[in-house]
């Protein structure tokens, strides 16, 4: 039985697209059942529709500071799709401990840094400012600690002397697109070990 995967996005959805395309490959142990965005205008929604994946929107704005009410609406939108796994893919809302506890061991996120370095935002600028020799991306399980859950996979590259936050982001995004489907495939098969994806640009 394939695992049912819901993908949560806020923006362009390029990681979502990479996941959906990978799941279409023969023998992949998971299938996309829903793409959910908290932003009604997210470009990824159109991409998901074009790929034939059902979409939903739960706009966070009407809920203001009431994160629990927002998450209750998220639960309600997710429930009919009966997902086994949630993949956060550029989903820009911080989730509460309650929601995370409900999905414990079943929720992944991709983060554009070599965790544990540079949790949170502006990862590329911070990697350059810190003088790091390498940067990359990490897929990890989501726990209550922001960007702090068990690491399932990483892909890395060398930072070039002339890299800017923008060029670094552009170089790392394709690595994200390769790493996330590989990690999801292993995760869907129940493999929890950590991998390092060898990549050539």
Q: What dihedral do alpha carbons 79, 121, 165, 7 form, nearest 10°?
A: -10
**Least distance from ligand GRF to the Cβ atom of residue 102, Å:** 22
32 binds ligand GRF (CB under 6 A): no
Q: What are phi and psi of 177, to 5 degrees?
A: -65, -25
Residue from 13, 136, 153, 181 touching ligand GRF (CB under 6 A): that is 13
112 binds ligand GRF (CB under 6 A): yes
Query: Which residue in the list 111, 118, 140, 177 is annotated as catalytic?
Result: 111
Indicate left, alpha or beta for 134 from its phi (over 0: left) and psi (-120 to 50: alpha).
beta
The question of whether 111 is a catalytic residue gets the answer yes
110 binds ligand GRF (CB under 6 A): yes
CA atoms of 28 and 22, how far apart (whole Å) = 7
* DSSP assigned state of 24: T
Give, as ranges, the residues between 181 and 200 that touch ligand GRF (CB under 6 A).
none
Q: Given the rule CB under 6 A, which residues bind ligand GRF?
A: 9, 11-16, 44, 89-90, 110-112, 173, 176
């Amino acid at each position: 039985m394939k695992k049912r995967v819901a993908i949560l996005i806020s923006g362009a959805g390029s990681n979502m697209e990479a996941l959906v395309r990978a799941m279409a490959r023969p023998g992949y142990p998971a299938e996309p059942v829903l793409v959910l965005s908290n932003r009604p205008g997210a470009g990824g929604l159109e991409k998901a529709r074009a790929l034939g994946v059902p979409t939903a929107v739960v706009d966070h704005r009407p809920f203001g500071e009431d994160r629990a009410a927002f998450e209750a609406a998220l639960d309600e939108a997710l429930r009919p799709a009966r997902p086994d796994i949630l993949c956060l893919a550029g989903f820009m809302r911080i989730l509460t401990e309650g929601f995370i506890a409900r999905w414990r061991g079943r929720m992944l996120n991709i983060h554009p840094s070599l965790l544990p370095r540079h949790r949170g935002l502006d990862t590329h600028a911070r990697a350059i400012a810190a003088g790091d020799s390498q940067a990359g991306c990490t897929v990890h399980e989501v726990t209550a600690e922001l960007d702090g859950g068990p690491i399932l996979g990483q892909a890395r590259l060398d930072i070039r002397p002339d890299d800017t936050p923008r060029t670094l982001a552009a170089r790392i995004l394709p690595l994200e697109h390769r790493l996330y489907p590989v990690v999801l495939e292993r995760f869907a098969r129940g493999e929890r070990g950590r991998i390092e994806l060898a990549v050539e640009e």
